[in-house]
Amino acid sequence: MKNLFTCALLIPFCLINFYGAFGQWTGPKQKPTEKKEIKYGPITPPHRTDDDMNRFRAYGLGQFIHWGIYAIPGNEWEGVSARGGAAASEWIRSWSGPTAPKNWKRIYDNLYKQFNPKDFDAKRWAKQAKDMGAKYMIFTTKHHDGFALWPSKYTDYTIAKTPYKKDIVKEVVDAYTAAGIDVYLYFSILEWNNPNYMGKAPQTDEEKKRYDLFLQYTRNQLLELLDNYPQIKGFWFDGTWDQSWKRSYEFTYNLEKELREKHPGLIIGSRFRNDEFEQRHFDSNGRLLGDYEQGWERKLPAAYEWLNGNDWDAVMTIPPNGWGYMKDWTGLYTKTADDLIDMLMQSVSMGGNFVLNFGPDGQGNMHPGEDKLAKEIGEWMRLNSEAVYGTVHADFPVSKLGYYTQKGTTLYLTVFNRPVNDLVRIAVPKNGQLVPISAELLLNNQQLMVAHSDMGLDLDKNTYYTITLPKAFQSDRAFVIKMQLGKPTKKAEKLMDAKM
């Protein structure tokens, strides 16, 4: 009770804390010490190898779009900023504390009556995403406020009741699919203003009845989305951390089965459901619950080993936090194209996809800062995407110069830290069967000199190949060295170690 009271006083802080706590499943994994009998574990086999999943693996870069009623305020209302009063711009409905406008929730819940994005053009968004190099996109069909951007038969709180009226989900799915970009639908389970939703596990018969109605409603909406938009490739679930949902493991297990049966090939991440011991993302025996690990939100794994060979994606905001439209970026660190390209290559080098978030405004325009970044990333991708699409983690010692990716016997090093002496050292395990035998700059195919150089470092483990960068070659962004791997011409000699 005391905690609740303290939390009520410090709502913004508590929200952020609570919000941050969802990340606990990421990081190096602890292996379970005992094996449990589990009935509601994974449904799909580990590491699916069907075409849909292989396609997912090859994307490299994706786009996330958070759009909904929260785009109208854009993290402020009548000149007052919600920063510090709401956990994020798309959380503005929960704005509280001294800066919150009077009757704010009532104002927010009526904002849909003004939603009429006159500039919205899904084809324009799709073109921008394509030019940026995105191969898939994730679109918010409904966020935590419960407002549906499609005309759902199961609620009145939908796009059909706005002055805009038209089905936005359909426009997005059609435009992106036509542009060759795969579409995944974001779907928040939790709904703040649905009278049948509750965060705690239902206790009384009346609560159980209401929550049961909510579960049926969720099922109906998901089946409706699959009926309406059969082109989609998967769902990206969110808002699944509450006790009520965690206790519904039998229902969610059956629902996942039903969705997969209805839509063969469907891809679902690890955020949808938990096992009967309330273990989320990974079941109590450490097995992934879903087709890919979906916990990397605004953070990246530090080491490939943390991933245990699982597929994964990382979703990233441009401002520190805030997924929906945030009109005012001043005073916030907003990531640069260099930051984002670095994160993209770090993700891909560890076998993951990197998904960059955009939050369009209430009229359907991207933030000017997002337009600028999309253009800059697109320019970089036009020269370097060969090192991104369809590449996998390369089993070479980590380089301090950048990130490796690999496709067959082609090795890519995306260089972020150019050595001052222009000598790029590639460490290769001693007696490794594949070593760099030729190299070129990916952006202009200029051939580079490769020489074996036993540097005497790391004597027992690695030997080195040195690639010389031409002094005349200058670049103000990261660049890629493309290498062909082949058999070493000479076996690395074991030098004698002096006694130490």
Task: Provide the binding-site residues for ligand FHN, judged by CB under 6 A.
Answer: 22, 88, 90-91, 238, 297, 315, 323
Q: Closest CB to ligand FHN among 157 and 323?
A: 323
Taking alpha carbons only, the member of 195, 393, 221 closest to residue 311 is 393
DSSP bridge pairs for 423: 468
DSSP bridge pairs for 452: 465
Q: Closest CB to ligand FHN among 90 and 276?
A: 90
Smallest separation, CB 54 to ligand FHN (Å): 24
> How many angstroms separate the Cα of 233 from the Cα of each of 73, 110, 128, 136, 153?
31, 33, 20, 9, 22
Smallest separation, CB 22 to ligand FHN (Å): 5
Smallest separation, CB 64 to ligand FHN (Å): 7
User: Between vectors from CA 21 to CA 6 and to CA 38, what angle results, nearest 5°?
Assistant: 125
Region for residue 14 given its phi and psi (left: phi exceeds 0; alpha: psi -120 to 50; beta: otherwise): alpha
Smallest separation, CB 416 to ligand FHN (Å): 26
Q: Closest CB to ligand FHN among 150 and 323?
A: 323
Smallest separation, CB 66 to ligand FHN (Å): 6
Q: Closest CB to ligand FHN among 25 and 306?
A: 25
Region for residue 494 given its phi and psi (left: phi exceeds 0; alpha: psi -120 to 50; beta: otherwise): beta
Smallest separation, CB 263 to ligand FHN (Å): 22
Burial class, 304, CB count within 10 angstroms (exposed 0-12 / middle 13-18 / buried 19+): middle
Structure letter (DSSP) for residue 404: E
Smallest separation, CB 86 to ligand FHN (Å): 10
Q: Closest CB to ligand FHN among 93 and 233?
A: 93
Smallest separation, CB 241 to ligand FHN (Å): 8
Smallest separation, CB 296 to ligand FHN (Å): 10
Q: Closest CB to ligand FHN among 294 and 385?
A: 294
The token pair at 6 is 């303290």
CA distance 371 to 118: 18
Smallest separation, CB 165 to ligand FHN (Å): 25
The token pair at 245 is 């949902």
Structure letter (DSSP) for residue 272: S
In this structure, the number of other CB atoms found within 10 A of the CB of residue 360 comes to 21
Q: Closest CB to ligand FHN among 323 and 464?
A: 323
User: DSSP labels for 115-131?
Assistant: ---TT--HHHHHHHHHH
Q: Closest CB to ligand FHN among 18 and 277?
A: 18
Q: Closest CB to ligand FHN among 22 and 304?
A: 22
Q: Closest CB to ligand FHN among 326 and 481?
A: 326
User: DSSP labels for 424-486?
Assistant: EEEEEETT-S-EEEEEEETTT--EEEEEE---SSSTTTEEEEEEEPPTT---SS-EEEEEEEE
Residue 80: which H helix or E strand, with range? strand 80-81
Burial class, 316, CB count within 10 angstroms (exposed 0-12 / middle 13-18 / buried 19+): buried
Taking alpha carbons only, the member of 312, 143, 359, 325 closest to residue 239 is 143
Contact 134, 62 (CB under 8 A): yes
Q: Closest CB to ligand FHN among 90 and 275?
A: 90
Quote the crossing angle between the two packed helices 368-384 and 337-349, to the nearest 10°.
50
The token pair at 83 is 């920063």
Q: Closest CB to ligand FHN among 129 and 434?
A: 129
Taking alpha carbons only, the member of 269, 367, 362 closest to residue 318 is 367
User: Between vectors from CA 319 to CA 356 and to CA 106, what angle results, nearest 5°?
Assistant: 100
Q: How would you classify the pairing of strands 267-268 and 234-238?
A: parallel
Smallest separation, CB 323 to ligand FHN (Å): 4
Q: What is the CA 325 to chain-centroid distance, rounded? A: 18
Smallest separation, CB 156 to ligand FHN (Å): 23
Q: Closest CB to ligand FHN among 249 and 296?
A: 296
Smallest separation, CB 357 to ligand FHN (Å): 7
> Which residue in the shown chain puts its C-beta closest to ligand FHN?
323
Residue 169: which H helix or E strand, with range? helix 168-178
